[in-house]
A and B are shown apart, each in its own frame.
Chain A
Amino acid sequence: EIVLTQSPATLSLSPGERATLSCRASRSVSSYLAWYQQKPGQAPRLLIYDASNRATGIPARFSGSGSGTDFTLTISSLEPEDFAVYYCQQRSDWPRTFGQGTKLQIK
Chain B
Amino acid sequence: EVQLLESGGGLVQPGGSLRLSCAASGFTFSNYAMSWVRQAPGKGLEWLSIISGSGGSTNSADSVKGRFTISRDNSKNTLYLQMNSLGAEDTAVYYCAKGGWSSVFDIWGQGTMVTVSS
- What's the nearest-Cβ distance from chain A to residue B33, in Å? 11
Q: Name the B residues within 8 Å of A89 (CB-CB).
A: 45, 47, 104-105
Q: Say whether A96 contacts B47, CB under 8 Å.
A: yes
B interface, by DSSP: helix, strand, loop or mixed? loop
Q: Say whether A87 contacts B45, CB under 8 Å.
A: yes
> Which segment, of A14-22, A68-76, A97-105, faces chain B?
A97-105
Q: Say whether B47 contacts A46, CB under 8 Å.
A: no
How many angstroms from the CA of A100 to the CA of B44 in the assembled complex?
6
CB of B29 within 8 A of chain A? no
Q: Say whether A98 contacts B106, CB under 8 Å.
A: no
CB of A49 within 8 A of chain B? yes
Q: Say whether B104 contacts A43, CB under 8 Å.
A: no
Out of B44, B95, B100, B107, which one reaches A99, CB within 8 Å? B44
CB of B62 within 8 A of chain A? yes
Q: Name the A residues within 8 Å of B61 (CB-CB).
A: 95
CB of A25 within 8 A of chain B? no
Q: Say whether A95 contacts B62, CB under 8 Å.
A: yes
Given contacts A46-B105, A46-B106, contact A87 B44 (CB under 8 A): yes
Q: Name the B residues within 8 Å of A99 (CB-CB).
A: 44
How many angstroms from the CA of A91 to the CA of B35 in the assembled complex?
13
- What's the nearest-Cβ distance from chain A to residue B90, in Å? 17
Q: Say whether B104 contacts A34, CB under 8 Å.
A: yes
A50, closest chain B residue (CB): B104
Residues on A lying within 8 angstroms of B by beta carbon are 34, 36, 38, 42-46, 49-50, 55, 87, 89, 91, 94-101
Give 14 CB contacts A-B under 8 Å: A34-B104, A34-B105, A36-B105, A38-B45, A43-B110, A45-B108, A89-B47, A91-B102, A95-B59, A95-B61, A96-B100, A98-B46, A101-B44, A101-B45
